[in-house]
Amino acid sequence: MIENNETVQSLKERELFQLSEDAQKEWGQIESELFAPKFQSDEEKELFLKECFEGKRKFPWHAQGQSIKVTDTKLVNAVIPAGGIGILGGTGTGRPDYETEMNVTESGDKIPSKTVRIEIGQNRNKEAILKEIEAVRKEHPYAILGVNVLYAIGDFEEIVRAIGDQGMVDVLYVGAGAPYDLSKIMEKYPQMRYMAIVSSAQAVRLLEDTGERCKSKGTRRPDGYVYEDKIAAGHNAIINPRKDKSAADHIREMQAETSKPIIFAGGVKYQEDVQKALLPKEYGGLGVNGVGLGTRVTITDECPIPNETLKDIHLNSAIPVVRREKFSPTGLPSTGKINEKEFWDKVEELKNSTKRRCNDCLIKPEARKNYPELAHCKFISVKPEDADYQFCIGPFLDAAIRGEPWAIYFMSVINEKDPIYLDKNGEARVPTVSEMVGYIIRNEVPEWADKE
């Protein structure tokens, strides 16, 4: 069991944000901008997005795209009518389809060769995410649609190019690494904007650099940035404790580096968090351009994770949210929940079989020359310093949407006793996306909820 460098998150107390009369008026305007209208054409949507990226208005609230298939078509199709920007999780989307193809069959056939396994994985991932995009577009032809793709994955470039060639996505979101490659790749897709998910001004500085020593070899720089605080769910940035700062400090430094829009994500749980992020600096806010909701969107009725699992895991404080350092085989820290015994028993059960079925999902050396930390999967690495990384993360993320007790559930800390999660009898209840966003942004409590 990995025990080094673990930090258990604690639940913070709600801190109401006292607004002056002028600040209340400003908030009223901002609040109205956090909900996207229903567009009647691509041209209308483009004019709207142009204003957002030029800083003339706030972005609608973002639903951070969680993989594997947590933020899927069903969830995005609920986010869009609730006024949000729907962001599909675009990493490993085909895994549920190709998992059986990597196994030994009942007739005793051999596992496909590594070359074939890599091809199967890449093809199924592309096919699956394109189908998800098509399904959303069929339901919402003119809505703002995004896809979140982890830079750390081996088929990153293939997925991005497939999405770009399809031409149905408005904004690409990229995290888990510094996407220098995109400056060249995205030259081919002027119709698709992209936002880099970062945790510091240093990352912004490197991605914006155009000097002779810059690592970006193309001409397109990110159209904006998503700042993820270290308490955000899922994979986090590697933080040097000596350089660690508050979220406000990081945001201010980023704003000094770029005039491009910044979305704040990680720890946005209540209306006051939204207000602190979006209100102008003269009213005590950070003055960013939008907010992203991750864990709050996951704990909704439209999420593919079964409701009973959301109650038993996500809304169960007996299972702590933990930021683990040497855990994910990407080499990046990660934040979420596991059932310790069930998880580690499954790790032992799957350890050998997952190595035999490996399809190099985290390995693509040519695309990692500028970011060697993510060049190899730590699980299959033979380096002594990687001995702590004991499992392939794929099966454990894939298992979340089935509600398996041994799955990894990426999430940040929430208060299970918030009225949005309790009915009038004090029983756990999972809200809809619409109810959730009404609670977070407008501080509205559903009729069925325990308001005391």
Model-level pTM? 0.90
Residue 43 makes CB contacts below 8 A (sequence gap 6+) with none
Q: What is the pLDDT of residue 175?
A: 83
| Residue 3, pLDDT above cutoff 50 | no
Residue 112 makes CB contacts below 8 A (sequence gap 6+) with 101, 102, 120
As a whole number of Å, the CA-based R_g of the chain is: 21
pLDDT in tens, 240-260: 555 667 888 889 999 999 999
pLDDT in tens, 269-291: 999 999 999 999 999 999 999 99
Q: Which residue has the higher pLDDT, 120 or 318?
A: 318
Q: Which residue has the higher pLDDT, 171 or 386?
A: 171
Which phi and psi (to 5°) does residue 146 adopt? -125, 165
Question: What's the mean pLDDT when you consider all of the chain?
Answer: 85
Sign of CA dihedral 340, 341, 342, 348: positive
Q: What is the pLDDT of residue 105?
A: 43
Distance CA 293, CA 264 (A): 9
| Residue 216, pLDDT above cutoff 70 | no
* Beta strand extents in 181-275 (DSSP E only): 193-198, 224-228, 234-235, 262-265
Question: What is the total residue count of the chain?
Answer: 452
pLDDT in tens, 73-116: 999 999 999 999 999 998 888 887 766 665 544 444 566 777 77
Instruction: Provide the pLDDT confidence category of residue 393 given band limits of 50, 70 and 90.
Output: confident
* Beta strand extents in 234-333 (DSSP E only): 234-235, 262-265, 290-293, 322-324
For the chain, the straight-line distance linking the first and the last C-alpha, in angstroms and rounded, comes to: 41
pLDDT in tens, 23-74: 999 999 999 999 999 999 999 999 999 999 999 999 999 998 888 888 889 9
What Cα–Cα distance (Å) separates residue 348 from each residue in 68, 353, 405, 450? 22, 10, 15, 43
Architecture field, domain 7-442: Alpha-Beta Barrel (3.20)
What Cα–Cα distance (Å) separates residue 56 from each residue in 51, 104, 226? 5, 56, 18
Q: Which residue has the higher pLDDT, 417 or 219?
A: 417
pLDDT in tens, 324-371: 887 888 888 888 999 999 999 999 888 877 777 777 777 664 544 554
Distance CA 187, CA 70 (A): 30
Sign of CA dihedral 159, 160, 162, 167: positive
Domain boundaries, the chain: 7-442
Which phi and psi (to 5°) does residue 287 adopt? 70, 30
Q: Is 312 in contact with 306 (CB distance < 8 Å)?
A: no
pLDDT in tens, 154-164: 888 889 999 99
Q: What is the pLDDT of residue 202?
A: 86
